[in-house]
Structure 1
Amino acid sequence: MKTTTLLATQAYITGAAVEGLLKTITGRTRPSFYGPNEIAKPMFKGPFAKSIDYTGAKTNSSFPSGHTTVAFAAATVYAMEYKDKPLVPILCYTSASLIGLSRITENKHWLTDVVVGAALGYLTGRQVVNNYHRYAAVKNAKAKKGDLSFNLQYSQSVVMPGLVYRFR
């Protein structure tokens, strides 16, 4: 569980970093940018755009959905690490999907923001887990072989070089 939580945290941070970069580059307006009597249409305003909605809130950070990205990143890690327990992936992805749906119903994101956020989170979580398992396989392969190391010992003003071989 400890390793899985660390992997989920890494996926969360990685997903949030990529999502933040994409938000800055795209500058997409939120649905709340438009007043109640206006026709809403998504606009990409580009890097560092400043948009204020009719209530005075900043609205140029819609694409992709950050909440959905990090929810799917963490959900993917838990789903992959506990795939032998059928209920875990179902609960993880259902929870992440409900988070994405809430962002649409709260008028914070367009559908495409949520879909791209979900895909980004899924890919981020999957990459983190795959990298960890590749690293663990390489580390275990090295650990199965014997280790040969050189060491120096210092005792009573005498330096003693030596070789140490560990059998595994």
Structure 2
Amino acid sequence: MKTFWTLLSLACSLSVTIASPASPPLERRAKALAFRSCTAPNTVALTFDDGPYDFMNDLIDTLNKANIKGTFFFNGNNWRCIYDEAMVQSIKKAFNTGHQLASHTWSHKDLTTLPWDQIHDEMWKTEQAIQRITGALPAFVRPPYGTYNDLGSRSCWLTRTDDFELGL
């Protein structure tokens, strides 16, 4: 009986080794950067939270006519689901006309009240949705309410915290 369990254990180990490609070692990343103003003098960044859902196509058309680019911070499922067909079409329109797409988390929860695994889930779901819709990863993450802590900054890529970042 002992030989059976030893062989079974060995077979399982081999199947996991064969099925799993060798992955590179994980690297430590620096903490996320928090932008509170523009980094280039005499510039302004137009950023929009939560879609803006109902007005998104009109806003994209207005920005495009003026040859201005904006950054749209999307929720996955706060006011409306990011996978709703109208949202998918608006997101593709924004992306295809050169605007930046970014994450505002899945359900707009205050990240400072969540454990790390829930923070990661809030960010991962939205990143995955944007990538599925456009084929691209979001440029930034903006934490809801502009609040974040050490746990959140370890989970994010780059964080912007103000709706309009003026550097005039």
Q: TM-score, normalised by structure 1?
A: 0.30
Higher RCO (CA < 8 A, seq sep 6+): 2
Select the structure that is richer in helix: 1
Select the structure that is richer in strand: 2
The structure with more radius of gyration: 1
Q: TM-score, normalised by structure 2?
A: 0.30
